[in-house]
């Protein structure tokens, strides 16, 4: 069905940094958050100074302070992407079982992930493209346990096909787990298993969003 949508005229929404900046506005003071690779890793640079947000890495770090400079890099202190990091004051280190007790037990406030596809009911596909190398990491634990699962992604894929779809065609990471979607064009919330368009990016119309979205949704735009 998605292949039959005629290519809409080009529209310019937010940049990747702009998506991260918009999402960062919704993080609340005191949140403990896990960040996936891609656009989510851009979020920390847009955190306002008056909000204290604790970043968790699934290899057992609560309180990432940022990337380590080469001279201070320590092979015993890395994030989940195996990159050298620093710690904030008040950081804590755990083993992997306790780290995933934090994740699975619902003790994070939000997890921010990239996605291949999000379905109309909040299903997420983000771990495996059939035919490529399968690897899952902590993605399935993060979406199973975290109360708020926020997806940050481009609205359409490189071929212009919608990534928000009626049903995921890619293998699922979790069913009905996504609570918000932030894209270059719009912000969606998932409420009671249904997608709601709550915001269009500056210069983007609801019609622009509709033409590039492969799933049914309702509009709940402010103003």
Select from 18-26, 47-55, 100-108, 111-119 the region that touches other proteins (CB under 8 A). Answer: 100-108
Q: Is 72 near other proteins (CB under 8 A)?
A: yes
State how far the Cα of 16 lies from the Cα of 24, in Å rounded to an integer.
Answer: 12
Among 6, 10, 70, 75, binds other proteins (CB under 8 A): 75
Q: Is 96 near other proteins (CB under 8 A)?
A: yes
Select from 6-14, 39-47, 95-103, 158-166 the region that touches other proteins (CB under 8 A). Answer: 95-103
Residue 31: CB atoms within 10 Å: 17
State how far the Cα of 129 lies from the Cα of 36, in Å rounded to an integer.
Answer: 17
Q: Is 46 near other proteins (CB under 8 A)?
A: no
State how far the Cα of 17 lies from the Cα of 207, in Å rounded to an integer.
Answer: 24
Q: What single string gives the DSSP state of each residue in 179-221?
A: -EEE-SSEEEEEETTEEEEEEE-TT--HHHHHHT-BS--EE--
Among 8, 30, 48, 66, binds other proteins (CB under 8 A): 66
Query: Rounded to the nearest whole angstrom, what is the least distance from the CB of residue 203 to other proteins in the complex?
Result: 38
Q: Is 32 near other proteins (CB under 8 A)?
A: no
The yes-or-no answer on residue 154 being catalytic is no
Query: Rounded to the nearest whole angstrom, what is the least distance from the CB of residue 210 to other proteins in the complex?
Result: 29
- Residue 151 sits at φ, ψ, to 5 deg, of -95, 130
* The three-state (H, E, C) secondary structure of 76-140, written as one string: CCECCCCCEEEEEEEEEECCHHHHHHHHHCCCCCEEEECCCEEECCCCEECCCCCCCCCCCCCHH
**DSSP secondary structure letter of residue 178:** -
Query: Rounded to the nearest whole angstrom, what is the least distance from the CB of residue 41 to other proteins in the complex?
Result: 17
Catalytically annotated residue among 58, 72, 199, 207:
58
State how far the Cα of 149 lies from the Cα of 10, in Å rounded to an integer.
Answer: 29
Query: Rounded to the nearest whole angstrom, what is the least distance from the CB of residue 110 to other proteins in the complex?
Result: 17
Nearer to other proteins, 96 or 218 (CB): 96
Sketch the per residue contact string, 137 through 166, with other proteins: x for CB under 8 A, - otherwise. Answer: xxxxx--xx---------------------
Residue 35: CB atoms within 10 Å: 25
Sketch the per residue contact string, 164 through 183, with other proteins: x for CB under 8 A, - otherwise. Answer: -------xxxxx--------
Q: Is 203 near other proteins (CB under 8 A)?
A: no
Among 42, 103, 198, 209, binds other proteins (CB under 8 A): 103
Q: Is 87 near other proteins (CB under 8 A)?
A: yes
Question: Residue 117's beta-bridge partner residues?
Answer: 125
């Amino acid at each position: 069905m998605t292949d039959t949508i005629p290519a809409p005229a080009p529209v310019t929404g937010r940049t990747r940094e702009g998506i991260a900046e918009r999402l960062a506005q919704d993080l609340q003071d005191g949140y403990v958050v896990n960040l996936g690779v891609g656009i989510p890793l851009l979020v920390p640079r847009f955190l306002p100074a008056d909000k204290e947000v604790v970043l968790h890495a699934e290899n057992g770090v609560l309180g990432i302070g940022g990337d380590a400079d080469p001279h201070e890099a320590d092979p015993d202190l890395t994030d989940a992407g195996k990159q050298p990091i620093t710690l904030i004051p008040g950081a804590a280190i755990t083993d992997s079982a306790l780290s995933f007790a934090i994740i699975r037990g619902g003790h994070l406030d939000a997890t921010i992930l990239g996605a291949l596809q999000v379905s109309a009911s909040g299903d997420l596909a983000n771990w495996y493209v059939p035919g490529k190398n399968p690897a899952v990491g902590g993605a399935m634990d993060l979406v199973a346990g975290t109360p708020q699962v926020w997806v940050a992604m481009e609205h359409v894929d490189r071929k212009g096909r919608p990534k928000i779809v009626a049903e995921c065609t890619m293998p699922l990471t979790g069913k009905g787990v996504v609570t918000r979607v932030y894209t270059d064009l719009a912000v969606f919330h998932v409420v009671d298993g249904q997608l709601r368009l709550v915001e269009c990016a500056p210069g983007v119309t609801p019609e622009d969003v509709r033409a590039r979205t492969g799933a049914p949704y309702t509009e709940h735009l402010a103003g």
